[in-house]
Each structure stands twice: as C-alpha cells, then as structure tokens.
Amino acid sequence: MGDRVTVGIVGASGYGGVQLVRLLLDHPQVEITYLGGEGSAGRPYTELYPHLQGRVNLTVEPVSVEVIRDRAEVVFLSLPNGIACKLAPQLLEQGCKVLDLSADYRFQDLKTYTQWYGEPREDAATAQKAVYGLPELYRDRIRQSSLIGCPGCYPTASLLALAPLMKQGLIEPNTAIIDAKSGTSGGGRQGKINLLLAEADNSLAAYNVARHRHTPEIEAICSDLAGQSVLVQFTPHLVPMPRGILATVYATLRDPGLVREDLITIYQAFYRHSPWVNILPPGLYPQTKWAWGTNACFIGIEVDERTGRIIVMSAIDNLMKGQASQAVQCLNLMMGWPETMGLPQVAFYP
C-alpha cells in the first residue's frame, strides 16, 4: 500500500460520499486514509453504512485541515454549497490536490455564484485557479490543475448533449431548451418531505422552474463553448426512482438541411477520445438504467425535419457521472492515470 496515493473524503456521510468510498475502495492506485464530517464525527463509518462491514474500518472524524494535510495527498469535498470555499484555499496551501463536488468552484465569475447561491465570497484568487471538471470538454486543463470544480448532475447530462452543437455553431444558441428528469437521490440523504415514498412514488413533478441553480452553470459553459453569451431554458423534474437522469434537449438547427445521420457522425467525431460517452445508432434512444452504477453517458439523437429542431437525449447515473465517478475520472487525469481506471464499465442490469 506504500506507493498508493492517500485520499481523504470530507462529507463522507452523504450519498456522494458513499459513492466515492465504494469507487476508491476498488481503485488500484489509492488508499482512503481519512473520512471527515461534522454531524457524524466520532461514529464508525460502518454505523452509517452497515453494508460496508469488513471493507471500511475508519471512523468519521471532525474536519481539521492539519489532520487532512498529514493524512491525505488528495481531498474530495462532498459538502453543502458554501463550505468548500472556506476549506479549499487552506488545503491547497498545505499542498493537497482538491476536488470539490459542490457548486463553489464551478464558476469563474463569483458574482454569478453569489447571485444564485446567496453566499458572498472572499476567495476570488482561488476560484480563478479552479478548472471545471467535465473531462470531455476540459481534459487537458484538468491534467494541469490542483483544484477541480466538479460539475452538477443536471449540467453534466445537459452539457454532454449540447457541447458539439455549441462548439461547432450548429444551432441557434439561445433556442436550447432542456427538459430533465432525475431520481430522488439527487436530493441527498437528509430527510425531506417531497422525497418521502408516500409523496414521490407514483408521481412526477417539475420543481424550481425558471430558477434552478444549475441554470447559470449550464449557461456559463455553453457561453464558453459558443464564444458568445448564451441563455438556456432549463426545467428539472423529480421522478420516483432512486437514481438516474435523462435530459432531453431541443434546439433550432442553423442548417435545416442537416439530417440525423450527419449529426450522429458529428457527435461521434466530437467524442472520439471520450471513452465514457456512447453515441447511439439511429433510432435508438437512451434509458437511465443503462448507466446505473457506471460513469457512462448514453446519447441518442433525432432531427425533426418538420420543425427544423434537433432533439438530443442524454442519460447518466446522477450519483456517478453526475457526481462521484466523474470526480474520480478527474482524479485519474490529475494523476496521469488512464481516465477509466478504477471505474465500473458495465451497469448492474436490470
């Protein structure tokens, strides 16, 4: 174990944290040496997650930058928004590599962050060093960085669907509409009335319409790709299943002569070096179950010649490609390892 990279997880008690634990336990190049949290400090990790009996022998500890520095070369921050920005600058100063799973380092423009998240920020210099952790778009920059702002779950599914269109100017950029549906684990492990079985089961509902916090994140990356300011219409929905996201994206094509087969070829070329993105053949549309427990994204493409619109469907596991396994994919790039290392390749099906 001596040559393995030591890793700590702060916020290990949530769903994102336990996904990280599962993945890193099976990763051939790392060793988990620290699990941190405030609410669960002092409790054996297996008390929180009994299914890990015999696999994890660590106790959740209070969060201490000095302890983390002494134990871990790499730190994953799986914390509520507004907390990582207080820890990350200190950890970077101590020489740690940091991957933040909250929204704190997804924005270069901290005014946008404060506008949508309501938290004033005093770490602009640190935020400028952060790289947006979507490897399919920023692979080379991630390799050189010590601070990664890992994307949100909805933005991951949405941006992988939109990126070729925005980057290559194939759509009228402000016509993009994203209709996305997520399983209940996206709401976290804390008890919430709308996530109770009696409330969520046998029901489907939109929420945070026209004001979801992932909207500016999607817009910022689309604007970067398009080379101009882009606005999108984003509506999320809660689906009564534990995990998975399906984002269906609609946009007006600039060239109405483009057909489905042309666009599939364009997507295949765009993602030719991206092992986790699967562009489906004509007439096949993705299902969330195909991605369960993996870092995969499945993309289906259709063109409505009658309306001149492209329809792109993108399916991921919200806790994996939308959160934990994407963070591990970024770690692999930061460390110079193959980006598929230690990540499950095939879904647990059915």
Q: What is the pLDDT of residues 227-252, one digit of tens each?
A: 999 999 999 999 999 999 999 999 99
List Cα–Cα distances, 323 to 14, 56, 121, 328, in angstroms. 12, 21, 23, 9
Same structural domain, 207 and 295:
yes
Q: What are the helix (H) ranges across 214-321?
A: 214-226, 260-270
- Which of these is catalytic: 153, 222, 297, 330? 153
What residues are paired with 31 via a beta bridge? Answer: 6
Same structural domain, 250 and 273:
yes
Same structural domain, 206 and 89:
no
Distance CA 237, CA 208 (A): 9
Q: What is the pLDDT of residues 212-226, one digit of tens each?
A: 999 999 999 999 999
Same structural domain, 86 and 224:
no
Same structural domain, 279 and 327:
no
Give the pLDDT of residue 295: 98
Same structural domain, 175 and 61:
no
| β-strands 309-316, 245-252 pairing | antiparallel
150 is catalytic: no
Distance CA 63, CA 57 (A): 18
Q: What is the CATH number of the domain that holds 58?
A: 3.40.50.720
Give the pLDDT of residue 189: 86
Q: What is the CATH number of the domain that holds 261?
A: 3.30.360.10
Task: Assess if residue 343 is contained within a domain.
Answer: no
List, run by run, the mean pLDDT of 10-residue segments along the chain (350 residues).
88 96 98 95 97 98 97 97 97 98 97 96 96 98 98 98 98 98 92 91 96 98 98 98 97 96 98 98 98 98 97 98 98 98 95
Domain encompassing residue 24: 5-150+323-335
CA end-to-end span of the chain? 35
Q: Is the pTM of this model over 0.85?
A: yes
Nearest Cα residue to 39 out of 73, 71, 77, 13: 13
Same structural domain, 328 and 246:
no
Same structural domain, 196 and 252:
yes
Same structural domain, 189 and 122:
no
Same structural domain, 94 and 157:
no
Number of folded domains that form the chain: 2
Task: Assess if residue 342 is contained within a domain.
Answer: no
Distance CA 96, CA 34 (A): 13
* Residue 96, number of CB atoms within 10 A of its CB: 22
Task: Assess if residue 206 is contained within a domain.
Answer: yes
Q: Is 315 helix (H, G, I), strand (E, B) or coil?
A: strand
Q: Is 109 helix (H, G, I), strand (E, B) or coil?
A: coil
Same structural domain, 132 and 15:
yes
Give the pLDDT of residue 190: 84
Task: Give the pair of three-digit tokens for residue 124.
Answer: 């602009």
Q: What is the pLDDT of residues 48-88, one digit of tens each?
A: 999 999 999 999 999 999 999 999 999 999 999 999 999 99
Task: Assess if residue 191 is contained within a domain.
Answer: yes
Same structural domain, 94 and 30:
yes
Task: Assess if residue 341 is contained within a domain.
Answer: no
Nearest-Å Rg of the Cα atoms of the chain is 20
Give the pLDDT of residue 2: 58
